[in-house]
């Protein structure tokens, strides 16, 4: 399994080095120390919060649990890994670094966090990148997280290397294994908690390993976009199931959503219709496409469904123009995906950090960039029956244009979201990581 990663990793590392070299030169620094992050203890307790590694650290190498470690880079030199491996009998210490990536680093093992300064390579102007702590203030860093360094790094991260894409393909495969198990659990009458457990077991991920908190929503819970609970009680009636859950591999995330009806009813027909619209939107992904345009295409798609299924008594064009579609689709069409689920750089116009504004009336869109080859974006249109937004619509000037008996009858389903992860390709169709995984897994 690791043969492809071993083959692709050296080229990926060279790309990361070049990006850091260019960013360091532009910002006026000679070296960078990328801190993985530290553990944080709960208030009035002796246990720590789950550790989340600095994404710029795991951009260099596939270590997600190496707290208090550093990757240090000086242009023209072999990168240094300062690896914290404590002598501990309360917790199992991490294994010595090994694997396809380790030969590419000068590995220096430390037993105490305070030993790191002596292991870091000496450079005249070394900048710190990561979560700052007061204990670092006398270590001689020239600056801390300067925007002149972060902006070009965040901007270029949107373009994925072949190594990164392979990691994301594998994350998609694990995600689909979890989704298949979750659907089976739903069909068998499981609770949200039991469905979540089935997803984790099939995807091989613990709660803390998931790239984001899994959304496991039965019935009207799907109307809460980031529904955060896993109810242990089984509902008296089962109408629908929305799952937004995924896995990660080597720190690279997947992000997958599917929706199911309990019966072959009109809600299932609505799911099928949205699925066709979603696939059409995904096929439009290509270089030089302004994502804002695709986001508006999604609103026209939702407007067609609202019109065709007799929810709103207006033309699709008027449904969008009067912003009624935003009641049923209040979030953005998608976002960048990679080292983070909502990856950085979605609004950046250039490496300097200039920002591209969101379209008026669409405050929750997470990407406004023009797409380039090997960007990975999510395509996730939704159609929801959200009580608070519906109430505002009912009280507004367009209330008479809504078929309220029909809308109210669909509240019990909560809503629909269908989400794929799509790679921008310069020739041919885009690569749909999610659909490919469902086809092959």
pLDDT tens for each residue of 223-282 = 999 999 999 999 999 999 999 999 999 999 999 999 999 999 999 999 999 999 999 999
pLDDT band per the 50, 70, 90 thresholds, residue 285: very high
DSSP 3-state helix, strand, coil percentages of the chain (rounded to 5)? 40, 15, 45
pLDDT averaged over the chain? Answer: 97
In the predicted model, is pLDDT for residue 311 greater than 90?
yes
In whole angstroms, give the CA distance from residue 361 to residue 5. 43
Strand-pair category, 215-218 with 240-244: antiparallel
CA–chain centroid gap for 142, Å, is 32
In whole angstroms, give the CA distance from residue 51 to residue 61. 17
**Higher-confidence position of 406 and 76:** 406
In whole angstroms, give the CA distance from residue 172 to residue 170. 5
Beta strands in 56-193 (DSSP E): 70-74, 80-84, 106-110, 126-129, 143-144
In whole angstroms, give the CA distance from residue 369 to residue 377. 11
In the predicted model, is pLDDT for residue 124 greater than 90?
no
Give the mean pLDDT of 311-320: 98
Instruction: Please provide residue 416's backbone torsions phi and psi, each rounded to the nearest 5 degrees.
Output: -130, 135
Q: What is the CATH number of domain 3-156?
A: 3.40.350.10
In the CATH hierarchy, which fold is given to the domain comprising 162-440? Creatine Amidinohydrolase (3.90.230)
pLDDT at site 428: 86
Prediction pTM value: 0.97
Q: Return residue ranges of the chain for CATH 3.40.350.10.
A: 3-156
CA–chain centroid gap for 223, Å, is 20
In the predicted model, is pLDDT for residue 338 greater than 90?
yes
Residue range 35-76, pLDDT digits in tens? 999 999 999 999 999 999 999 999 999 999 999 999 999 999
| Residue 332: Cβ within 10 Å count | 23
Contact of 121 with 92, CB cutoff 8 Å? no
Residue appearing with tokens 């019109």? 307
pLDDT at site 123: 75
Q: Return residue ranges of the chain for CATH 3.90.230.10.
A: 162-440
pLDDT at site 292: 98
In whole angstroms, give the CA distance from residue 57 to residue 115. 19
């Amino acid at each position: 399994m690791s043969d492809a990663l071993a083959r692709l990793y050296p080229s990926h590392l060279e790309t990361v080095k070049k990006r850091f070299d260019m960013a360091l030169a532009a910002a006026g620094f000679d070296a960078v120390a990328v801190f993985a992050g530290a553990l944080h203890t709960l208030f009035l307790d002796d246990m720590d919060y789950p550790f989340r590694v600095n994404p710029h650290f795991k951009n260099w190498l596939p270590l997600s649990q190496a707290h208090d470690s550093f990757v240090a880079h000086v242009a023209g030199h072999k990168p240094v890994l300062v690896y914290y491996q404590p002598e501990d009998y309360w917790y199992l210490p991490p294994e010595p670094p090994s694997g396809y990536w380790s030969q590419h680093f000068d590995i220096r093992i430390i037993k105490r966090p305070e030993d790191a300064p002596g292991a870091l390579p000496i450079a005249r102007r070394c900048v710190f990148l990561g979560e700052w702590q007061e204990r670092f203030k006398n270590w001689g860093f020239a600056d801390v997280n300067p925007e002149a360094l972060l902006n070009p790094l965040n901007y270029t991260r949107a373009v994925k290397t072949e190594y990164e894409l392979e990691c994301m393909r594998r994350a998609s495969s694990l995600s689909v294994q979890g989704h298949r198990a979750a659907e089976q659990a739903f069909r068998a009458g499981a609770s949200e908690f039991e469905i979540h457990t089935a997803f984790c077991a099939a995807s091989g991920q613990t709660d803390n390993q998931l790239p984001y908190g899994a959304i496991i929503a039965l019935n009207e819970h799907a109307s809460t976009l980031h529904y955060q609970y896993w109810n242990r009680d089984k509902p008296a009636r089962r109408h629908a199931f929305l799952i937004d859950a995924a896995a990660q591999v080597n720190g690279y995330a997947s992000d997958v959503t599917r929706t199911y009806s309990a019966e072959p009813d009109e809600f299932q027909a609505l799911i099928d219709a949205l699925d066709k619209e979603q696939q059409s939107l995904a096929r439009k992904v290509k270089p030089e496409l302004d994502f804002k345009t695709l986001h508006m295409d999604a609103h026209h798609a939702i407007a067609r469904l609202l019109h065709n299924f007799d929810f709103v008594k207006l033309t699709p064009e008027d449904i969008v123009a009067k912003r009624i579609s935003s009641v049923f689709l209040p979030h953005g069409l998608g976002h960048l995906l990679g080292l983070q689920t909502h990856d950085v750089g979605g609004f950046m116009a250039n490496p300097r950090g200039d920002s591209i504004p969101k379209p008026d009336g669409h405050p929750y869109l997470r990407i406004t960039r023009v797409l380039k080859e090997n960007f990975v974006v999510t395509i996730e249109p939704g159609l929801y029956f959200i009580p608070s937004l519906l109430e505002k619509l009912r009280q507004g000037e367009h209330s008479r244009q809504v078929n309220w008996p029909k809308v109210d009858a669909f509240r019990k389903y909560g809503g629909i979201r269908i989400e794929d992860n799509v790679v921008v390709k310069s020739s041919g169709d885009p690569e749909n990581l999610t659909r490919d995984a469902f086809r092959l897994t």
